[in-house]
Amino acid sequence: MERIIPTVGLAANFSGDAQPLRCDAAQLHAARERAAASGRRVLDELEEVTGLEPAAFVGCLGATLRYPVLASDELFACAPAFEQVTLAQALKREFAMVRRGDEVVGVFSDPFDAARLAWIDEKLRGAPLYLVHAADLAGYLARHEEDFHAVDSLAGAADSTAEVAAVETLSLAQISEDASVVVKLVNSTLYDALKMHASDIHLGVTGNGLVIKYRIDGVLNSISRVQGADVAEQVISRVKVMAELDIAEQRVPQDGRFKVGIKGRQIDFRVSIMPSIFGEDAVLRVLDKQDLGDQISGVSLEALGFEAATLRTLRRLAAEPYGMVLVTGPTGSGKTTTLYAMISEINHGMDKIITIEDPVEYQLPGVLQIPVNEKKGLTFARGLRSILRHDPDKIMVGEIRDPDTAQIAVQSALTGHLVFTTIHANNVFDVIGRFVQMEVDPYSFVSALNGILAQRLIRLVCPGCAVERVPERDELLASGLDPEQVGDYRFVHGTGCGRCRGTGYRGRTAIAELLLLDDELRQMIIERQPIARVKELARRRGLRLLRESALQLVREGRTSLEEINRVTFVA
């Protein structure tokens, strides 16, 4: 390799189109001393010493050591060349071969490791080498890891048959040793989904193969396509075997579940198999109790992102001695997480708290939690009846699905218990209609009800790649905004970087619509007055709609207009 790693000093007087270089010999010496003491890499210590932003740091390092630099957006536009340097090698060496236009080039992040550079030089075979930021390279490899697994797993798969074997643990080493290509493909898909914190895995069968998608932060992401109708059928059969379902039955829906181990913990997967015109589709819901537990254990409602006024009201509702607190929203909107957080804040050991859930997503210390088992006859309604004989103070009902459960929940709230529960509805006013539809007595319902919370989860723009972008006039109008009245808005957009895996978003926060019942609202509901009049009165009482909470995030520059239009209804 022609380039030589300097043993002293980075040129301090280099200047270019960007700001002058801000690292020198003293900083490099300090970074090496800190690395020797801490055991960290010189690269990581140097970035801290210089205090430069990631893009500026890479530019500084590349200019000084005479390496061309590949920016984050340029890297993510390249296709991987894993056939030249495998994924396992790329992860170990922090080096990858990628296709940049018509040529294949190498990308790496650490110019201070001489042994690694010697290995890279052998792999390059004369190809250009570019320097990238370590976080960008890690994000790039994570983003393309699943594609590699799919291609690697199906090499020669056309003539192979699925080997049914129990999945005990998931790791890269275990996956690479799987003899069956179909088992390897399924295991690598599960592994990738867990690594990317996906909530659901969609295995869609098409006329000529399989489409794999992950739901990440509430949005479906197309991951890879696998050619071959026979391979698609074998993949679905493998999932059915893992979930202990009937592989011969392909005409009716089936539901099941299975567990896998990864890094010393158990992960549950809830499986839904649905027949289609091309065969069967599978959706796997990921139930990572430890991941959810990290969000819930020891945290308060503040960690969920609600506004201060909403937090105060939720805490007051959780501290009431009796009544019903309803949380509503679509699947995946964080309803159960909110209830867990409310219960955690009042779980002081002085009350008997019992939950009935389908499934129990996370174990709350000191709380009796009952899983629904409909095959054995333990439904929400039957379980709730039994709970009332177990001397509870607080009760959580995972979901109200039928009139029987609704009636018992209301009666429980009227007989001195505090009931937390969820129901599927679009907003707080639709909840009223749902209970009326279930033929629950309106007087009993409003007497029991303390408050209704409707919530959604909004993705936040990644701070590492956020740029300001004012929408066009037509876009503002379509979003219900007056172009003349958005002067205080800070419109942002994520361009995509390694930290957000190129999506432009990183993390989510909750928005809320919270309705508290007073005597006048209760009277209107009992009289079955039009919802429009109920809504008008609630608005006069200070109700803030979901859309208004979402627009506040846009005004603060925390999310994008596109995101809130995806999640909330434009009035």
- What's the pLDDT band for 290 if we cut at 50, 70, 90? low
Name the domain boundary from 238, 266, 287: 287
Domain that holds residue 236: 168-287
- Find how far residue 353's CA is from the centre of its chain: 29
Name the domain boundary from 287, 311, 334: 287
Structure tokens at 414: 């009227």
Most confident of 362-371, 414-423, 527-536: 414-423
Name the domain boundary from 259, 287, 315: 287
Q: Does residue 202 share a domain with residue 119? A: no
Contact 480, 442 (CB under 8 A): no
100 domain-assigned:
yes
CATH classification of the domain holding 193: 3.30.450.90
pLDDT confidence of residue 344: 87
472 domain-assigned:
no
226 domain-assigned:
yes
Which contacts (CB < 8 Å, 24+ apart) does range 314-320 have?
A: 314/338, 314/342, 314/453, 314/514, 315/345, 317/342, 317/450, 317/451, 318/342, 318/343, 318/345, 318/346, 319/346, 320/418, 320/450
Q: Does residue 135 share a domain with residue 259? A: no
Q: Does residue 387 share a domain with residue 306? A: yes
Residues sharing a CB contact under 8 Å with residue 201, sequence separation 6 or more, in sequence order? 189, 190, 193, 212, 213, 214, 215, 282, 283, 284, 286
Q: Does residue 141 share a domain with residue 225? A: no
Q: Does residue 329 share a domain with residue 270? A: no
CATH classification of the domain holding 542: 3.40.50.300
Model confidence pLDDT, tens digit, residues 204-262? 998 889 999 999 888 888 888 888 888 899 999 999 999 989 988 888 999 888 988 88
Assign 289 to helix, strand or coil. helix
pTM above 0.85, yes or no: no
542 domain-assigned:
yes
DSSP 249-277: --SS-EEEEEEEEETTEEEEEEEEEEEET
- What's the pLDDT band for 7 if we cut at 50, 70, 90? very low
Assign 369 to helix, strand or coil. strand
Give the integer Cα–Cα distance in Å for 342 and 299: 10
Which range (3-17, 46-60, 373-387, 464-478) has the least confidence? 3-17
498 domain-assigned:
no
Q: Does residue 255 share a domain with residue 190? A: yes
Contact 498, 542 (CB under 8 A): no
Give the integer Cα–Cα distance in Å for 410 and 425: 18
pLDDT confidence of residue 172: 65
> Cα torsion for 11, 13, 15, 21, to the nearest 10°?
60
Contact 487, 481 (CB under 8 A): no
Q: Does residue 321 share a domain with residue 420? A: yes
Whether 293 has a pLDDT exceeding 60, the answer reads no
Backbone torsions φ then ψ of 173, nearest 5 degrees? -65, -45
494 domain-assigned:
no
Whether 395 has a pLDDT exceeding 60, the answer reads yes
- What's the pLDDT band for 353 if we cut at 50, 70, 90? very high
Q: Does residue 407 share a domain with residue 335? A: yes
Whether 292 has a pLDDT exceeding 80, the answer reads no
Which range (56-65, 320-329, 443-452) has the least confidence? 56-65
Structure tokens at 322: 């009796």
pLDDT confidence of residue 21: 56
Which comes out higher in pLDDT, residue 442 or 363?
A: 442
Q: What average pLDDT is seen over the chain?
A: 83
- What's the pLDDT band for 512 if we cut at 50, 70, 90? very high
| C-alpha triplet 557, 559, 562: angle, nearest 5° | 120
**In one letter, which amino acid is 285?**
R
Model confidence pLDDT, tens digit, residues 89-102? 888 888 999 999 88
Residues sharing a CB contact under 8 Å with residue 524, sequence separation 6 or more, in sequence order? 533, 534, 537
Which comes out higher in pLDDT, residue 165 or 75?
A: 75
Domain total in the chain: 3
Which range (17-21, 180-184, 406-410) has the least confidence? 17-21
The residue count of the chain comes to 571
Model confidence pLDDT, tens digit, residues 404-461? 999 999 999 999 999 999 999 989 999 988 998 898 999 999 999 999 999 999 999 9
Give the integer Cα–Cα distance in Å for 56 and 435: 58
Q: Does residue 368 share a domain with residue 341? A: yes
CB burial of 483-515 (b: ≥16 within 10 Å; e: otherwise) equals: eeebeebebbbbbbbbbbbbbbbbebbbbbbbb
- What's the pLDDT band for 64 if we cut at 50, 70, 90? confident
Q: Does residue 523 share a domain with residue 396? A: yes
**Pure H helices in 473-518:** 473-478
Place of tokens 């109920």: 534
Whether 192 has a pLDDT exceeding 90, the answer reads no
**In one letter, which amino acid is 330?**
P
Q: Does residue 327 share a domain with residue 251? A: no
Which range (64-78, 170-184, 462-476) has the least confidence? 170-184
Q: Does residue 317 share a domain with residue 277? A: no
Rounded percentage of the chain residues whose pLDDT exceeds 70? 87
CB burial of 55-88 (b: ≥16 within 10 Å; e: otherwise) equals: bebbbbbbbbbebebbbbeebbebebbbebbebe
**In one letter, which amino acid is 545?**
L
